Amino acid sequence: MPDRYPEWRRPVSEGRRIAANSFWLGLAFGGSKFFTIILNAIAGRVLGPAGFGLLGIASALAEVGKLVSGAGLDFLVAREVASEPARAPRLSHDVALIKLLNAAGVYILLALLVATLDYPPVLLPLVLILGSALFIENLSDLLDAVFQGLQRMRVTTVAFLVSGLVLLGTGSAALLSGLGLRAYAMCFVIGFLVRFVVMFIAARRAGLIELGWRGIDRVESRRLVLASLPLLASTGLALIFHRMDLLMLGTLETTAAVGLYTAAVRVIDSVVLVPRVLGTALYPALRKSLQEDPVRARALLTESSRITLTVCSGIAVLVWVLAPWALSVTPGPEFVAAADVLRLLSFGIVLQGLAHVVARLLLAIDAERDFLGAVSVALVLNFALNLYLIPRYGILGAAWATLLANGVSGSLYLLAAWRRGHALAWRAGIGGPLLALAVGAAVSVPVDWPLPAGLRLVLAWALVLVLSGGLRLTDLSRLVDLLRRRPSGTSQ
């Protein structure tokens, strides 16, 4: 195997590495989301609410299958490769076989489930086609984990952008040609296959994978699977938690109603990549500082959580104000009726940001079981709320159920961190952004006040945020100082 690792692991400052990784991850996720937004705009106009709803249900089911078949192994692969790069070929070989065997069983069970439940007949082929696409994506995620372990994020960026362009081109062509939902779903197979090929070629050239069949290392594979079970269970339940509304709407509401709700969810999914990127960039520095300098770790956690929630609350305000316009642009004017749903879901963006930060903290301190317990309770509550609210209030009830369940899950995450001795600071950390958004939401209720609701929301949010110290002029420099391991205000 070529000895290229020393070149990749040249000494670089921690802050510079994190900044570079954040940039490349942001470019990958942001570019991919941009292409998805354009494709959703075309799909919404061509398919209408009913077709868009079918696609949303099929995607939610296929995503659950992808997560279970992936077995939560990618995180462990990245960690193992970071510790011992020479193991990358063997790990990628064994984990790929595990994913293949899992996928065969999972999607057979998923097909039986769809055929048994009261779903439209057209849904089954859609789930199987999208499931095939997501299995290919699962293999790409494995290679992505290897490159993340070596901190080579550029490969991920190139693969995401190339596959996004291919998916946009083939998907829009299939939609505009009137080829139907199945042909459109096949475009995802093509797009994800391109991403896999790009990453496979890069990994092959770097000597990270070896061709040919060889027996699986049963002892090592068993160790990896057992180690991944808590993480698999927690992330799996988290995914079901975030897709519970769509899964239950598919059986309790019409496909047109599901289409409206899916449109609002797609907008939210497009903007929550911000806390995802911030949390991913934070994790390595947080884990290392917890082991070496607990004081710096607490300061890093306080500053990063406050900045993340401030950014998320600003995004939430922006989505609330622009909700009708966002839905009219993507996926189309027919979906503006979901504006109230989108506005309600926008308040959950800051809760998702909080969950991303605290989840990274729990993983950094090896508290996967606490994470699992919190997600399990929130999932049961989410199911009960959806079961009660959807028949009474339709898609607005699903939005309320999701928002309330997000609040409970965030509170349980905070409780788990507190029990582990890592409570997040309130006054210097998360309190300002949460209070600002809560006050803004309170003054935005439809009452006969002189100012428009959107303007009241913006003014109240900004005023409370500044007065509470949630937004400070020194935020960026302070966070960079912490990442670079030097006290704020000192020079190198």
Q: What is the pLDDT of residue 485?
A: 47
Q: What is the pLDDT of residue 266?
A: 85
At 179, list the tokens. Answer: 């080829």
How sure is the predictor about 491, in pLDDT bands with cuts at 50, 70 and 90? very low
Q: Is the dihedral of CA 133, 243, 176, 42 positive or negative?
A: negative
| Interval 70-91 mean pLDDT | 73
Question: What percent of the chain shows pLDDT beyond 90?
Answer: 16
Burial category of 227 from C-beta neighbours within 10 Å (exposed 0-12, middle 13-18, buried 19 and up): middle
How sure is the predictor about 154, in pLDDT bands with cuts at 50, 70 and 90? confident
Indicate if the pLDDT at residue 216 is higher than 70: no
| Interval 311-330 mean pLDDT | 90
Dihedral angle computed from the Cα positions of residues 418, 424, 430 and 432, in that order, rounded to the nearest 10 degrees: 100
Q: Is 469 helix (H, G, I), strand (E, B) or coil?
A: coil
Peptide linkage before 331 cis (omega within 30 of 0)? yes
* 151 within 8 A of 11, measured Cβ to Cβ: no
Give the contacts of 217 (CB within 8 A, at least 6 positions apart): 90, 94
Q: What are the residue boundaries of the structural domains of the chain, listed by start?
A: 1-216, 247-492
Higher pLDDT, 19 or 130: 130
Q: What is the pLDDT of residue 170?
A: 96
CA atoms within 13 A on the CB side of 391: 6
pLDDT tens sequence across 470-487 = 776 665 555 555 445 444
Question: What percent of the chain shows pLDDT beyond 70?
Answer: 79
Give the contacts of 234 (CB within 8 A, at least 6 positions apart): 368, 371, 372, 375
Nearest to 75 by CA among 207, 236, 192: 236
At 234, the amino acid letter reads: S
* 432 within 8 A of 471, measured Cβ to Cβ: yes
Nearest to 5 by CA among 82, 59, 100: 82
| Interval 285-310 mean pLDDT | 77
How sure is the predictor about 5, in pLDDT bands with cuts at 50, 70 and 90? very low
Which of 117-121, 168-172, 350-354 is the least confident region? 117-121
Q: What is the pLDDT of residue 486?
A: 45
Q: How far apart are CA 332 and CA 342, in angstroms?
A: 14
At 335, the amino acid letter reads: F
Q: How far apart are CA 103 and CA 134, in angstroms?
A: 10
Nearest to 312 by CA among 280, 281, 358, 356: 356
Q: What is the pLDDT of residue 413?
A: 86
Nearest to 461 by CA among 477, 439, 484, 482: 439
| Interval 440-468 mean pLDDT | 82
Q: How far apart are CA 464 and CA 309, in angstroms?
A: 14
Exposure letters 25-62 (e unless 16+ CB within 10 A, then b): bbbbbbbbbebbbbbbbbbbbbbbbebbbbbbbbbbbb
Indicate if the pLDDT at residue 7 is higher than 50: no
| Interval 440-454 mean pLDDT | 77
Q: How long, in residues, is the chain?
A: 492
